[in-house]
């Protein structure tokens, strides 16, 4: 089973002791590599989805694409499908 990859809690390019306030975690912008890793996709697929407008993006300076962490998490949550029936041994709480 694939493991959900979380981006690091540090902001790339931000010097320690910076006077600017930290961005709220849910509103952080992820680059295509970090967002693709969270979704278990290749960056190429994420570029295609953004071009097809299947996922919302933030376009910086007319070129660089960024993805909101909250949007990626919502996409994962909304894509989850419940099982029709529980697997043997998984429907009972562990002792």
pLDDT tens, position by position, 34-86: 999 999 999 999 999 999 999 999 999 888 999 999 999 999 999 998 888 87
With respect to residue 95, please indicate whether it lies within any of the assigned structural domains: no
With respect to residue 34, please indicate whether it lies within any of the assigned structural domains: yes
Higher pLDDT, 57 or 93: 57
Q: Of 53, 76, 82, 54, which Cα lies nearest the Cα of 5?
A: 76
Number of separate domains in the chain: 1
C-alpha–C-alpha distance, residues 66 and 75, integer Å: 15
With respect to residue 16, please indicate whether it lies within any of the assigned structural domains: no
Question: Domain range for residue 53?
Answer: 26-78
pTM of the complete model beyond 0.75 = no
With respect to residue 87, please indicate whether it lies within any of the assigned structural domains: no
Q: Residue written as tokens 């961005």?
A: 23
* pLDDT at 38 (0 to 100): 95
Helix residue spans in the chain (DSSP H): 32-39, 43-51, 69-78
């Amino acid at each position: 089973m694939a493991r959900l990859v979380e981006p690091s809690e540090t902001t790339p390019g931000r010097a320690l002791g910076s006077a600017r306030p930290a961005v709220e975690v849910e509103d952080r912008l992820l680059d295509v590599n970090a967002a693709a890793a969270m979704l278990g996709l290749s960056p190429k697929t994420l570029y295609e989805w953004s071009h097809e407008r299947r996922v919302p993006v933030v376009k910086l300076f007319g070129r660089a694409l960024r993805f909101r962490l909250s949007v990626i998490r919502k996409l994962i949550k909304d894509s989850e499908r419940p099982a029709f029936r529980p697997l043997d041994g998984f429907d009972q709480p562990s002792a």
